[in-house]
Amino acid sequence: MSGGALYGANVFANGIRQHYLRYGGFGSAVILIPGITSPAITWGFVAERLAERYDVYVLDVRGRGLSSTGPDLDYGLNAMAADVVGFATSLELPAPALLGHSMGARIAIRAAVAAPDAFSRLALIDPPVSGPGRRVYPSKLPWYVDSIRLALKGIDAEGMRAFCPTWTDEQLKLRAEWLHTCYEPAIVTAFEDFHKDDIFPDLPKLKQPAMLMVAGRGGVIETVDEDEARSLYPALEITRVPNAGHMIPWDDFDGFFAALGDFLSR
C-alpha cells in the first residue's frame, strides 16, 4: 500500500471483490479509475496530491491489482462500468466525481450514462477514441502483452525501462512489482474493445459536467476528435497538456494539475 494512503480495503460490489485505496478522507468524494494496465497503487502519487482537497478512492479495475480476476469474469466495458456504479452504491458515496485515465475514462463515461444521478462530474483524461471505422489506437497490443509476460516471470525496474523509458526509477519499480497482477485476457479484451466499442455515441447522453484532458504528445486524441466530441456534447470543457504523452501525470505532473484546475469541486 502506498505510504500516503489512509488504508486499502475490499468491497463486494457488482458481484465481485473490488479492491481500492483511500486517500485524504475529507472533502467531496472522487473515484479515480486507472487505465488498462495500471493497478491502483501506481496512481498513488496523483492520489496523494488530490487528497489535499478531496476524499479519493482509487480502484483496482477487475482483472488488475487485488480485485477479482480469472477466466470466468466479463472484462468488457459495460461490466467495468457496472463495477464503478456498484462500488459507489456499496460505499454510499454521495454523488462522487469520476476521474478516469485512458480506459478508465471510457469506463467513467459508460458508468455516468448508466447511472446519471450517481455521479456529479467527469474528468476524462486522454481516453481512447478508436472504434469501428475510426482511427486505430496508437499503442500496439504486444507492448502490453510482452511486458505482462515478462512481469509474470519476474522483472526489475531496469527491465521495465525498455517499455517506459521516460519514467522515474520509483515509477518503474512500482510497475515492475505490480504489472504481473494484470490478467492478460482482461487486457486483451479491453484493448480490442477500444476498436469495437465506440464511446462517442455515449457523449450526448451525459448529464454531468465533463472535462476532456488531451495529451499534447499522446497521439490518442486529435483536433478532429475534439471537434466531434464537442459537437456531441457542447458543454464539454477541453484542456490540453502540451508537453505530455498519454501518461500525462507521469510526463508532466504539474501540468496535469494545472489542466485539471478546480474542475472536480467547481
**182 touches 143 (CB < 8 A):** no
Strands 97-101 and 29-33: parallel
Q: Which of 67, 68, 102, 120 is catalytic?
A: 102
Strands, sheet with 55-59, edge to edge from the N-terminal-most edge strand = 7-13, 16-23, 55-59, 29-33, 97-101, 122-125, 210-215, 237-241
**How far is residue 126 CA from its own chain's centroid?**
9
Beta bridge partners of 31: 57, 98
Active site residue 139: no
DSSP 185-226: HHHHHHHHHHHHS--GGGGGG--S-EEEEEETTTSSS-HHHH
Distance CA 103, CA 189 (A): 11
Active site residue 102: yes
Active site residue 184: no
For 265, the 3-state DSSP assignment is helix
Helix, strand, coil in percent for the chain, rounding step 5: 40, 15, 40
Helix axes 77-90, 184-196, angle to 10 degrees: 110
Beta bridge partners of 101: 125
Calculate the dihedral angle through the C-alpha atoms of 219, 150, 249, 191, rounding to the nearest 10 degrees.
Answer: 40
For 103, the 3-state DSSP assignment is helix
Distance CA 32, CA 47 (A): 8
Distance CA 12, CA 136 (A): 35
Q: Which of 90, 184, 222, 231 is catalytic?
A: 222
Residues acting as catalytic residues: 102, 222, 246
